[in-house]
Amino acid sequence: FRSERAGHVVRQMLILSRLDSDLSDVNKTFDAAANVRELLAPLVPEALVKSIELTLESPDQVLLHGDPSELHSIIGNLVDNALRYIGEGSQIQVEIESGISVVTLRVLDDGSGIRAEDQERVFDRYYRVAGTGVSGSGLGLAIVKQAVARMRGTISLGNGLNGRGCAFVVELPAVSPQHRPSNS
């Protein structure tokens, strides 16, 4: 278990290091909806074991421009945190909404939430909310913040489902018409 945990921390540190670099790895137009569906599919069994309802509300296709691995870091860390911190019988809802100039991604849950005094600090590297009883490195939300910045977006934290839990809201620039693939 310790070696598995250490491996996870090392992977997170490598991801954060890559996101910190000024090098642009991949810059392409991709289907965010398909990417998120593929990411969530292997998480469903873990959610079922914990009696957590994991749902996705999304159009069939939502185009984004950038590096798909950055979107994976955003959604993967937000859903992983929700799975680890909310209790049995809870809900996690992932939403993707495509607007003219903005794509909005939401990860909402109905868990115990994050105290107001901790909300500004949760995106800081190595910051851990005290008293959760859940192990972690404090890097997941720092990775999310950096990946959102790399995709030229914003992230905010508010109340989750039914006024409980957390709602992480990510807004990313929509694909401009010149970056949309032609249907020819």
Give the per-residue pLDDT at 25.
Answer: 57
pLDDT, tens digit, 9 for 90 and up, residues 43-81: 999 899 999 999 999 999 999 998 898 999 999 999 998
pLDDT, tens digit, 9 for 90 and up, residues 17-47: 555 565 555 678 999 999 999 999 999 998 9
Q: Which long-range contacts does 154-159 make (Cβ < 8 Å, 24+ apart)?
A: 155/123, 157/114, 157/119, 157/122, 159/113
CA separation for the pair 64, 51 (Å, rounded) = 32
Confidence class for position 136, pLDDT limits 50, 70, 90: low
Strand residue runs (E) in the chain: 28-31, 53-57, 63-66, 91-98, 102-109, 154-159, 166-173
CA 5 to chain centre: 20
Give the per-residue pLDDT at 180.
Answer: 59
Q: Which two tokens stand for residue 84?
A: 């680890």
pLDDT exceeds cutoff 90 at 117: no
Return the DSSP state at 155: E
CA separation for the pair 124, 120 (Å, rounded) = 8
Confidence class for position 107, pLDDT limits 50, 70, 90: very high
Q: Which two tokens stand for residue 63?
A: 């185009």
Maximal CA-CA distance, the chain: 56
Higher pLDDT, 129 or 170: 170
CA separation for the pair 170, 94 (Å, rounded) = 11
pLDDT exceeds cutoff 60 at 133: no
Q: Which residues, 6 or more positions from 169, have their beta carbon under 8 angstroms from its beta carbon?
A: 104, 105, 106, 155, 156, 157, 158
Higher pLDDT, 122 or 171: 171
Mean pLDDT computed over every residue of the chain: 81
Q: Which two tokens stand for residue 10?
A: 């090392």
